[in-house]
Amino acid sequence: MSSAAPRWKTALTKGLEKSKMAVFQLATVDPNGSPHVRSCINREFIAPQNFPSLPLLVSTTDTRTPKVTQILSQTRVETVFWVEGTMEQYRISGFASVIPAPSHALYHHFESSRGPAFAALKDEGFDWEAKRREVFDYLGGHMRATWCRPIPGSEPESGHVDAKAWPESVCKLGEARTDQEKEHVDTAIERFALLVIDPEEVDYVELGVIPNQRTTFRRTEDGWVEKAVVP
């Protein structure tokens, strides 16, 4: 494996620098074979120290959302980043893993996550639970409060959405003072999960240059194989 970060990752990171948020769209398939897609935020890239050529995309989710069920039934996913400033598109296909609390019923699915990046991180002693808690604390209090709401997308039992019944903000881990604050943070961290995407193929289209360029990258045992293709 090459010891350098793949060219698509360097270009994507540069393209995203001017964006407020690293928004991408994640496509999944449900058990009926219907596609679904929604916007997510890439919080960071994580790569094994010895293998920068194997970056993972790290986003967050709620274990109660339909996309988690979809990913568990079909781990193959595709994401797309549209970088408006540079008129570039990155389509990244690979495998998704949901990393919940170790105490969560879905945790055993994560333990079976495969692929060279996860294997290398395991060898290096990477602590996913510490990373999960670090990302949780990095989010804003308002965002953390979303994990204390009823199931996202559900109809409230009362028939109407009563946002006042939900906490507006949830504090960081270890910063809860009252019993209620502690209850909220415990509830939120139990439902909070990392959503990690392990890229296998990347389709990089540059529409900001004339003539347009398009490059495909495929991960192999010998590193990323790059090919210029018809845009």
Helix, strand, coil % over all residues of the chain, rounded to 5: 30, 30, 40
Q: Quick one: which of 20, 112, 130, 220 contacts a second copy (CB under 8 A)?
A: 20
Nearer to a second copy (CB atom), residue 106 or residue 143: 143
Nearer to a second copy (CB atom), residue 14 or residue 38: 38
Among the residue ranges 10-18, 44-52, 119-127, 223-231, the one whose residues contact a second copy (CB under 8 A)? 223-231
Rounded to 10 degrees, the C-alpha dihedral 129/77/16/10 comes to 80
- Does 69 bind a second copy (CB under 8 A)? Our answer is no
> What does the block give as tokens for 65?
């959302």
- Does 230 bind a second copy (CB under 8 A)? Our answer is yes
Nearer to a second copy (CB atom), residue 47 or residue 86: 86
- Does 229 bind a second copy (CB under 8 A)? Our answer is yes
Nearer to a second copy (CB atom), residue 5 or residue 93: 93
- Does 174 bind a second copy (CB under 8 A)? Our answer is no
User: How long a stretch of residues is the chain?
Assistant: 231
Residue type, 140: G
- Helices 179-191 and 128-138: angle between axes, nearest 10 degrees: 120
CB distance 194 to 132 below 8 Å:
yes
Give min distance, CB of 22 to a second copy, in A: 12
